[in-house]
Structure 1
Amino acid sequence: MSLDRRLDHLADMKRAGDAAVDFVSGIQKEDFLTDLKTQHAIGMCLIVIGEATVRLMESYPDFVTDHPDFPWNSIRGLRNRVAHGYFGLDLEIIWETTQITIPELLESIDALKNWRAQGE
């Protein structure tokens, strides 16, 4: 696969992360905790981010190894928990993920894209 495919996976992660942030923009935590539609939308975004991460991990292991500070395994693990419902989801953690982790992840994705654009 070409470099473009790597960038495509990063773009998929970014789009899903941006969507997750948009879905919770302007709502309070208490509203999120009772809003099944938003919970499911966020869950789907987390699955998309995780799927793109897994594709990068499987197709470009050197790229993953070159970026050990990026939370590859954590993202994959969260994707698995959301997709398979392991032990139920802690909505408090999902909320925190939308407020802290995803915005940080978006910055990291931008850094990866910029690093790739500059060339290894």
Structure 2
Amino acid sequence: MKREHRIRSLLERIRSASLDAHELLGPLDLKEFRTNLLVQRGVGMSLLMASESVVQLEAFSPDFVAEHPEIDWVTIRGMRNRMAHGYFDINLDYVYQTAKYEALDLVRIVDSLIHIYPEGE
């Protein structure tokens, strides 16, 4: 796979999983989110998938990461590590805020970048 196509593929994964995390919340407020294990797990897994794709993009193309400081790569990687290794210590308030607000910010940034890279093989 060409470099540009791999970058686009990873950006699409980041976008899709981030949007899923946001949409899975639906109209739930934080109190409802805290009591809904199914939504917690769905949102958490979606954020983990998005952040894992960020880690893969960092490894695949460090220069791409350096060229796009508008994405908070370090924070996203840190969240991925906490979620992947601290299953029972996940801060649900942080997960909720990330999915509710920051996931959409990331989607907007990815949308502004993704068109630069061609589709297909």
TM-score, reference length from structure 1: 0.89
SS in 1 for 2:27: coil
Aligned counterparts of 1:109 and 1:67: Cα–Cα separation in 2:
10
Change in Cα spacing, 1:33 to 1:87, as seen in structure 2 (3 Å) is closer
Show the counterpart of 2:60.
Answer: 59
Share of identical aligned residues, percent? 32
Secondary structure class of the residue paired with 2:115? helix
- The equivalent of 1:41 in structure 2 is 42
**Preserved CA contact (<8 Å) 2:17 2:47:** yes
Summarize the alignment of residues 1-120 of structure 1 with structure 2, pairs less than 5 Å apart.
1-2=1-2, 3-85=4-86, 88-116=89-117
CA RMSD of aligned residues (A): 1.6
TM-score, normalisation: structure 2: 0.89
- Displaced runs of 4+ in structure 1, greater than 4 A? none
Q: SS of 1:69's equivalent?
A: coil
TM superposition shift of 1:113: 0.9
Residue 26 of structure 1: CA displacement?
1.8
Alignment gaps of 5+ in structure 2: none
Rounded Cα–Cα distance in structure 2 between residues aligned with 1:39 and 1:63: 32
Higher relative contact order (CA 8 A, sep 6+): 2
For 1:6-32, what per-residue CA distance to the aligned partner results, in whole angstroms no more than 9, with x for missing partners? 100000011101111111012222110
Cα shift at 1:44: 0.6
Work out the number of aligned pairs and report it: 117
Structure 2 CA distance for aligned equivalents of residues 83 and 55 of structure 1: 14
Change (3 A) 1:36 1:87: closer
